[in-house]
Amino acid sequence: MTGPSIGTPLARVDGRLKVTGGARYASEFDRPGQAYAVMIGATVGLGDIIRIDDAAVRRLPGVLAVISHLNAPRLAYQPHKSGIDPAAGERLHVLQDDQVRFFGQPVAVVVAETLDQAEHAAPVLEIEYQPRPPLIDIDGATLVVPDAARNSAGRIAADKARGDADRALSEAAGTVDVTYWMARENHNPMEPHATVAAWTGDRLTLWSKSQFVVNEAAEIAAIFGLAAEQVQVICPFIGGAFGTTLRTWPHVTLAAIAARVAGRPVKLALTRRQMFYATGHRPRTVQRVALGADADGRLTSLIHEGTAESSRYEQYVEGLTSVSSLLYSCANVRTRYRLAPVDSGTPTYMRGPGEASGVYALECAMDELAVALGLDPIALRLRNEPVIDEGAGRPFSSRSLRQCYALGAERFGWSRRDPRPRSMRDGRLLIGWGMAAATYPANQGKASARVGLLADGSAEVEAAASDMGPGTYTSMTQVAADALGLPPDRVRFSLGRSDFPPTPPHGGSMTMASVGSAIHAAARMARDRAIVAGTPIEAEGHAERNGEVARSFSMHAFGAVFAEVAVDPDLAIVRVRRVVGAYAAGRIVNPRLATSQCTGGMVGGIGMALMERTVLDPRDGRPVNAHMADYLVPVNLDIGSLEALFVDEADPHLNALGVKGLGEIALVGTAPAVANAVFHATGKRVRDLPIRIETLLES
Ligand code: MOS
């Protein structure tokens, strides 16, 4: 008999496979007779394709097919929307017309015997465009009200108000009324997007990087006019994703088209540069936050108006201003959310989608208010800690933010902070300490799982799912082990196949709550049957959030993030020396994995604060820094000490496991903590992420 596995720091069950190269990623699958495809993107930002000449390409060695809208199969493109697709608008139809909607849009594909031959041939294809001037700058866009009523998340309202925030602002004793900008960010996981497509008659198998294999199979089936069962998606490992493989992007369809036209299996991998075009991005945002408070620092007014870019053909919607209705107690709150459609590919979920951007603005504004009122930033927040979710009018299922402040502050040494800007130094370096609150919804989706108990006393567990790095293989093994009463080494968990029991997207921090609950249910069922039967057993379990509970409670994870920066006073170089994050996210299934999740999220937040920024050429929307030399992400030397702490939180309302999810909240809060630390160090308030040397020097 063993003790419970949940709560123990079990090492990754797939760790050995990963470090020995045994884990296979999408582009490492090879099929007999496989050919190679290279995607070709538009070199104008908007316009018509008026001529394509493939004669020269077709004469090149090894070339098997050159496919564009002129000769691509006409695809069914049956309606298909899953919970992650924009409610309004329609996905790009790949190679179905002569229209270029954004720079880099896939307009052709070259298939050859070898990758070298395909790469050699692709640039030889002659494509002539009739360009039109695209709209790139979000300032020039005509704002639209997001179609929130039809958004699957349901919680995202374009406009929300309680009380009279504008009037309360004009009467407040202390106010802050400021605007924050955030740059576009592109996901840059180590593993590029890739798909290997193989047809057998009218059945299609895709070895494809995906955080949502069930949906990728269903969507590709809809695009090709097939039944969902005719498409199988396989993805056992993901080398990081952060949201960029939640949707099924054009290259997946392109790989399937290429394989059909070439009559052979085809491998298509995107280059790093191509990952900046049509695989989503975190939208640029402009946010006004106005806060009013009485002399004691009690919020009397909160106004949060956010605008985010979207594409012309779809409305990508996220919870940009949602946090402002629930993070603080305030009688007068008004939020407004608008989209700025530009000639670009559609943005998508990127770690902490919506909340990360919204919390940045709100939490920097709270810091500014603390300075204006002469209050400690934590004291200001504690003074405005609500009893219930005032926006939803419901109690929280649990909210341990006070404990996060206390735990994080204690560990960080916050009480030793001198509040005066430019007052703390280390030699000639300016030292800054900043903090911010964090929150993210505790999501749970409908999920299923299968558990088989074998005659030798071991168990096999299956769920579609994905593991983009958080350690899903490991944590689910722990959940199954405990529910079955087995040690974890007697449990084998498999994931990443669309024919396994269906699960929701591996995103929105909902995998533990959703898949974990389904595995828990299936394992309990299998164990109960085994006690009766004594023979091999198979059980399929299902779990989803209890609707009554969901209507009764507001469910969110919370956190408090503390950052120390050192700033060179002459060169304005900012180094993040340490970050301490204290999180309350329900039960922690595996503290080792949870720590890894959170420190990884902090790295993403440091990137957001100081480095990550996709620069678009205003003439054609070309991402000019679409490579790792100029799109900066933090590397080891950019990162100091990172510490993640967890508040014990037992929440009986959430689900059978009592988990809230950790992936997103791990990033939320870091960027504002760093930005507030930069202000504390320098006395300069930069309201434009990433904070760059040149902005700090000129401000
Ligand atoms: Mo994460 S943006 O929910 O993959």
Residue 351 CA to ligand 1 center (angstroms) comes to 5
Ligand 1 pocket test: pick from 152, 210, 349, 667 the residue with the most ligand atoms within 8 Å of its Cβ.
Answer: 349
Average pLDDT for 481-488 = 97
Is ligand 1 within 6 A of the CB of residue 508?
yes
CB of 243 shorter than 6 A to ligand 1: yes
Whether ligand 1 lies within 6 angstroms of the CB of 351 is answered as yes
Q: Which residues of 625-659 are buried (b: 16+ CB within 10 A; e: fewer)?
A: ebeeeebbebeeebbeebbbbbbebebebbbbbbb
Is residue 341 within 8 A of residue 149, CB to CB? The reply is no
Give the number of other CB atoms < 10 A from CB of residue 67.
23
Ligand 1 atom nearest to 244, measured from its CA: 4
pLDDT (0 to 100) of residue 251: 98
Q: What stretch of H or E contains 428?
A: none
28's CB contacts (< 8 A; 6+ apart) are none
Q: What is the DSSP string of 93-111?
A: PTTSSSEE-STT-EEEEEE
Taking the complete model, does pTM exceed 0.95, yes or no? yes
Whether 149 has a pLDDT exceeding 90, the answer reads no
**Are the C-beta atoms of 680 and 377 separated by less than 8 Å?**
no
The tokens describing 644, both together, are: 């993640």
Q: Which of 246, 279, 503 to mutate to test the pocket of ligand 1 (most atoms within 8 A of CB)?
A: 246
Is residue 353 lining ligand 1, measured as CB closer than 6 Å?
A: yes
Orientation angle between helical segments 472-484 and 511-533, nearest 10 degrees: 30
Q: Where are the beta strands (DSSP E) in 572-650?
A: 574-584, 639-646
Residue with tokens 């720590």: 595
Residue 601, pLDDT above cutoff 90 = yes
| Mean pLDDT over each residue of the chain, to the nearest integer | 96
- Cα of 696 vs centre of ligand 1, distance in Å, is 31
- Taking the centre of ligand 1 as the mean of its atom positions, its distance from the CA of residue 176, in whole angstroms, is 32
What pLDDT does residue 150 have? 53
507 ligand 1 Cβ < 6 A: yes
Residue 392 burial by CB count (10 A; 0-12/13-18/19+): exposed, middle or buried? middle
Residues 6+ apart with CB under 8 A from 630: 615, 624
SS3 state of residue 267? strand
Tell me which residue of 56, 62, 59 sits closest to 38, measured CA to CA: 62
Tokens of 697: 């020097």
Range 2-9 average pLDDT: 90
Residue 547 CB coordination number (10 Å):
8
CA of 244 to the centre of ligand 1 (A): 8
Cβ 281 under 6 angstroms from ligand 1: no
pLDDT at 189: 97
Six-digit token string for 522: 């299936």
- Residue-wise pLDDT for 424-449, tens only, equals 999 999 999 999 999 999 999 999 99
Ligand 1 atom closest to Cα of 241? 4
Cα-to-centroid distance, 121 and ligand 1 (Å): 36
How far apart, in whole angstroms, are the C-alpha atoms of residue 259 and residue 41? Answer: 19
Closest CA to 644 of 408, 403, 433: 408
Q: Which residues of 197-218 are buried (b: 16+ CB within 10 A; e: fewer)?
A: bbbeeeebbbbbbbbbbbbbbb
Measured from the Cα of 353, ligand 1's closest atom is 2
SS3 8: coil
Report CA(507)–ligand 1 centroid distance (Å).
4
CB of 441 shorter than 6 A to ligand 1: no
Helix (H) and strand (E) counts for the chain? Answer: 15, 25
Q: State how far the Cα of 590 lies from the Cα of 5, in Å rounded to an integer.
A: 9
Question: How close is the Cα of 630 to the center of ligand 1, in Å?
Answer: 24
- When pLDDT is cut at 50, 70 and 90, the band that residue 1 belongs to is very low
The pLDDT value given to residue 78: 98
Strand order in the sheet with 447-453: 491-494, 459-462, 447-453, 537-543
- For residue 583, report the distance from its CA to the centre of ligand 1, in Å: 18
Residue 152 has pLDDT above 60, yes or no: no
**Which two structure tokens, joined as six digits, stand for 110?**
């070259």
Q: Does the annotation count 28 as an active-site position? A: no
How many angstroms does the Cα of residue 338 sit away from the middle of ligand 1?
22
Q: Is 510 in the pocket of ligand 1 (CB under 6 A)?
A: no
Q: Is the CB of 246 under 6 A from ligand 1?
A: yes
Determine whether the shortest distance from the Cβ of 672 to ligand 1 is under 6 A.
no
Q: Please work out whether the CB of residue 505 comes within 6 Å of at least one atom of ligand 1.
A: no
What's the pLDDT score for residue 3? Answer: 81
Single-letter amino acid code for the residue at 600: G
189 CB near ligand 1 (under 6 Å): no
Answer yes or no: is pLDDT of 154 > 80. no
Whether 445 is in the pocket of ligand 1, judged by its Cβ within 6 Å, is no
- Poorest-pLDDT segment among 79-88, 252-261, 438-447, 638-647: 79-88
- pLDDT given at position 698: 86
Task: Reply yes or no on whether the pLDDT at 118 is more than 90.
Answer: yes
> What is the pLDDT at residue 533?
77
Q: Is the pLDDT of residue 148 over 90?
A: no
Which residue's CA is minimally distant from atom 4 of ligand 1? 243
pLDDT tens profile 454-474: 999 999 999 999 999 999 999
pLDDT digits (tens, 9 = 90+) for 659-681: 999 999 999 999 999 999 999 99
Is the CB of 242 inside a 6 Å radius of any atom of ligand 1? yes
pLDDT at 342 over 50: yes
Distance 505 CA to ligand 1 centre (A): 9
> Distance between CA atoms of 369 and 375, rounded to whole angstroms?
8
Choosing from 390, 664, 694, 698, which is the catalytic residue?
A: 664
* Closest ligand 1 atom to 211 CA: 4
pLDDT 10s digits, 271-312? 999 999 999 999 999 999 999 999 999 999 999 999 999 999
| 95, pLDDT greater than 70 | yes
> At residue 153, does pLDDT exceed 70?
no
Mutate to test the pocket of ligand 1, among 193, 351, 444, 597 (most ligand atoms within 8 A of CB): 351
Rounded CA gap, 610 and 62, in Å? Answer: 45
CA gap 567, 35 in Å, rounded? 52
**Atom in ligand 1 nearest the alpha carbon of residue 242:** 4
116 within 8 A of 43, measured Cβ to Cβ: no
Could you report the per-residue pLDDT of 510-563, keeping only the tens digit for each?
Answer: 999 999 999 999 999 999 998 877 788 899 999 999 999 999 999 999 999 999
Question: Given the CA of residue 246, which atom of ligand 1 is nearest to it?
Answer: 4
Helices (H), 112-267: 115-121, 165-171, 213-224, 250-262
Q: Find where tokens 């866009």 sit.
A: 141
Our answer on whether the CB atom of 634 is closer than 6 Å to any ligand 1 atom is: no
Which token pair is 98? 């002569």
What is the spatial distance between Cα 374 and Cα 307, in angstroms, rounded to a whole number?
Answer: 30
